[in-house]
Structure formats: structure tokens, C-alpha cells
Structure 1
Amino acid sequence: MNSADDELCRASQEAEASLIYNDSYFELFEASQIIEKEVQEGKTAERFYEANDGDIEKRALDSVPTNTQRRDKWAYNTFTAWAIAVNNRRGGGRKPVTVLEDMGLDELAYFMSKFVLEVRKKDGCEYPPNSLFQIVMGIQSYIKTVSKRNVEFLQSDVFEEFRQVLDGEMKRLTRKGLGQSVKKAEAISADEEELLWRSGQLGDRNPRVLVNTLLYLNGKHFGLRSGHEQRKLKHKNSQISLKTSPEGHEYLCYREDYSKTVQGGLKHRRVTPKEIEHYTGSNPARCHVRLFKKYLSLCPPDGHDDALYLQALQSPTDKCWYSRQPLGHNTLQKIVPEM
């Protein structure tokens, strides 16, 4: 195509764009003329729907899933029933419970702590730990949705003591065996995990918490669900190795050695074992890579059983937190459910 053809092509494109622009312009012009005529004739009120405050609230509520709305209403009603009962039997200088929506943060933290210790079902029985947690989350969601207040039970410093009370009560209920009739393993939700980090059940503050955290993160990131799978992890020639990417980023690589479907026999000689990579996280305190490195650095250097998870020493030192004795698969199986 020569220069003359190029000029003709550009001119054609500009003309086409001009037509499109002009068509749009005339459409807008015609619309504005119609609206101006409606204004002059006083007909605009007939054209537009008049939304009131109730409509706005309803549309905002419609964005919340129905099951969440039911949970929140159930949680609110449960708290209200408890508050009425407390106020009816109040005596001895006990502080009255005010309306949930009107409570300040300090007052809310105080009454939520008492609530999780005293709340009961209609038949007088205690709630299972997961149900208690769902009630707490429902109350938080209700306050956010209805009262338009940004309340964060699992994150705000104001609710630190409340988180400790809730964590302790859930553990007490678990020890009593409440809610353990369900055999199917349930994944820990994001809110539940946040509570575990905030309450110190996940982290590296002591030997037991560190090994529990490593087991939880290995299960979460590498799909290891049973105590037997966790017990198969090795310390030497481990399935989990620390690597560095070409860009200089550290990551953990889990390589499956054998499983029910990959057993290493003749039929599986060409089957590629599962490999999963997990890179360093943005929060160092919760970084799987950092916690893995710290755990290895605090294990005895040699002479221990070839198992990844070791028992904590009764008297750990700055350089060694763990004995040479491995944790059994039954113990490993119970760690996450008992958090």
C-alpha cells in the first residue's frame, strides 16, 4: 500500500469515527430536548421512581445472602433473649445490659465476654463450640449490617480479652465432647483461623504452638488431611524442601513420595508425583516458610527418629526446643480439632 492509499485509509477511518461521534451527539441532543420538554410540561415526576430510605436499606440488605441474614437474626435474637433474662434477674449491683446497637466498644466487649459464658439453648444445654462461634460472628455481622458500625471481634485490640474468653470457652466445650458427634472433617473458616492466630493458638510463641502451627499449615497448603499422612512426613530427605526461585524468592515445595494412588510400583513408574509450591507470605509472623525454617532450626541436629514432627522438650533451650521422640499419628490427628 502506497502513501496515497494510506492517506485515503486514514481519511476513511476519521470520517467513520466522525459519523459515530455525530450519531452519539445527536442522540444525546435529542434526549436532552425531550427531557427539557418534560420539565417544561411538569411531567418529570411521572418518569422517575422516588426511592425512600427504606428502599435503600432493603437493597443493601438484599446483597447479604439469605442464610447469612437468618444466622444474624438468630444470633441477635439469642443475645436479646439473654439480655432480657439478665436484666430481669439483675441484683447485687450487676450492670444492666443495654441495647446491642447502642453499646460502646468497651461495653460491647464486656457483655460479649459474659454472654459467651452464660448463653444456653432453650432447653438449658450448652451450645457446641462451633455453634457458639457462629452466634458471635452473627452478632458481629448484625451490628455491621444494621447498625452500620465497623465492629471486628477477631481483629480489634478492644476485643482482645473477649477473644481470650471465647477461645477458652470453646476449648472447655470441646473437652466436654460437645459437637464431636460429627465425624466428617470440617475445614477451618477464615474467621476461625484468624481467631486462632489472634488468641495465640497459631504462631511460634512456644514449642507446642510452633509444631501445631506447622502441622496446620502443612495440612492447609499441601492437602494433608489425616494423621497418617502427616506422620509420613520425614525430617531427612523430606517431602517438603526449601527452595529459592530465579528471582530470589524463597518457597516450600512439597513432593508426594507415595500414596494410595501413587505407590511406586510397575503400574506407577511413569506417574508424576504431586508437587505443590508455597511462597513466602506478606505477613512474616504468619509466614509458612519462616515458621518451617524456625522449626527445623530448633530441632536436634542429629540422632532423632526420621519423622518431621517431634515432641517438645519439658525444658527447652534457646537453641533446641524438641526431643528426638516423634509425635504419633493419633496425636497428630487430634491437634487441629482441639485447637
Structure 2
Amino acid sequence: MEVCEGWAEPLLERIKTRSSCRGGFRWDMRYAWFPLPPYLNQFRGSDWEPFPTPVLQGSCTAVRKSFFNAVGRFDPGLEILGDEHFDLSFNVWITGGRIETKENSRFAKVTVEDVDQFLDTEVNQNTKRKTEQNVRVFQEFLEANLEFREFTVKPPTELSNYLSMFILSVKMKDGGEYEPSSLWSFISSIQRVMKKKGYNKTIDDVEFSKMKETLTLKQKSLKSQGKWNKPKAAVELSDANIEEMNALDKLGPQNPQSLLHSMWFICTMHFGMQTGNECHNLTWGDVVLLTDDDGTEYFQYDSERQTKTRTGADARNMRDTKPRAYAIPQTPEKDPVALYKLYREKRPDAMLSGDTPFFLAINYQKQKSGSWFEKNAMGINTIYDIMKDMKSGTTFEQNERITPFR
């Protein structure tokens, strides 16, 4: 545990004004941070004042020496890191002491388990799901070859041989060949698991040269057969497509559905947002209505969140200019600002605070409340289906790969 300069002074100052500390513990015997109850906050003059806490956190602790000796110090019989703070906390309780947290620390105590949980939580869920699927296919291949050991325990050369055979033999469920990029996806997924399991080699090491050569030649062979020509490439919406959707009231201010479609269309077309998760995570406060120097109104995507291409891993990978959608008052049915204002007007008052979801579920009982939308978020699957709903009834309805991105 490394601390910054000056970490001890706030704790020593508190010890000087109090003779002991008292606290509590959580019944499942696991340390965790919880929001401070309102009844405690009301007695604090500022956020920097100390507050009573259930148990010692265990990393940066200060206590009067005489009291520390009186409660029995740390138990010398505890030989494994992790429970000494509970033991000392219970002794403080028994002796009528008090435990407080002083929020001047620069570092929180973090365990290896905390790091593992963070990595598991923050990894892109699509990547995680794809990795699990690909590794499961490889495991099925191994079992079909009567090999039931976990592949991460195999020696590198042996694993390279199995990967080479896998590359040559794996087929899609319908018996067709995978795209060359899909073969690389399999290897990338396997590599991620190898790294997570602490495998002592990577696929870039010389032991995996046979696998890499097999992959390269297999990809060349597939390309010569016409693969890698992106048969499922996305097709951009044309101006004619957009005009057709406007004519069919798929876009515009006519009804709740067309208005939601318009908001989604603006977010994807003007702000470059991903069609599913990014729209689903958008909040009302992420978008603000502003006026340019010449008096032209626009609304702006003000709080860019993690995206598929801007994951946060590179702090420099940020848009130079925040995305905007300008007013076009000459065509009010297509005017982004007019549509935004109407959307604001038709939302329930309770859903106008900054932390509420931007995309709301349609209120099909609006005659009772007057609002076009409900007080809850639109489901992510419904958001994913917006493009499909917009195409319904159009001349390009059957084009499955059409996208709003241009």
C-alpha cells in the first residue's frame, strides 16, 4: 500500500480530539463501501468531516497507542492477510471504542480479487460473449479428437499443432467455410483465454509458428475462393430512402413512434452514436440545447461515453469538436431542434432531469397522462429494432444490411 505525502495528518488530528473509536460490521463478513446514511450526513459540516464507519478498512489506519494496546493489538495468530481489520474492529466494539473514516485518503485499498472483478465487469460484453463462443467451438474440436485436457495446460508446440488442425477443419454449422477474418477471431479469442489463465507463451512466440503459417495459407486459400469480399457489408441509407421514410411517417413529429425514430436517427446520423448500447446508455443530460454566435439554435452531444471505437483506453482518442445538430426551420418536419423541443415537451416532467434515460418507452395510454412517453427507459432490444421498424413498409424493407451511418 503506497500513500501520498500528508496522509497521516488528518487522522492524527482526529485522534487528538477523541480518545477512542467505535464502529460496526456487515453480517456477511465481507468489507464493502456503502453510501453514507442521510441521518449521519446531516450532522457533518462538510464532506471532509469524519463519520462513524462499520469496521476498519484496513489500509491506512491511525489509533492512539495506549488504546491500541488496550484492545489487544493485532492478533498474532492471524497468519493470512484479510481478517485483521475485522478482529481489531470487534475488539474496539467490545471495549466501547469508536471507528471513523476520514475522507482525505488518496488511495483506496484494492485486492487482487477487486482487480479481477473490475476486469470481468468492464470488459466489452460483446467481446466476452464472442470469446466464450469461439473457445467453446475449439473445446468441442478437442473433445472430438479425444483430447479432454484444458487447452491452457498443453505445451506450446502441442497446442500449436492442435490449433493448426482446428484451422484446417473447422466449418460453420451449415458446412460452409468461415470468412478468413472469422478464423483470426477464433485465434484471438483463444489467445485472450491463454493470457487470462497465465499461459507462459503467446501466439507471437516461435513455438506457434506452424499455427501462424497454417492460418496465413488457409486465409489465402479462402480468399482465392471468393471469401473476404464482404458479402454482408452494410449498405448506407440514401437520400431517397430517407425521403421515403418521411413520406410514410416513419420519421417526423406526427406520432410518438416517428418522433422516437427521428431522435434515434439524429443520434446515429449527426452524433455518430452506435445503434444499440450507446443509445440505450444516453441520458437526457448528455444532450444540451444551445445557440450559436449568429443566433442559430442547435443541440449538442455534450457528454461522450464509452463507445465501440472510443473505449477510454486511449485518453487522446476524443472528438476534437462535440457533435451538433443544427436547426433547419425552413423544413420543420425534419428540423432536429424542433423535433428535440417536441420530444422534450412530450416527455413526462419527471423524466427531464439530467440522469434520466434519453430514450423512453412509448405510452400507449397517453390519453390518461397526456405524455407520449412513459417514465421508464426504452428496452435495448427495442432500440436495436428501430432500423427494422423504420424500414417496415418501404421499398427497401428486405435489405437486411442497411444502416444509418453514411
TM-score by length of 1: 0.41
TM-score by length of 2: 0.35
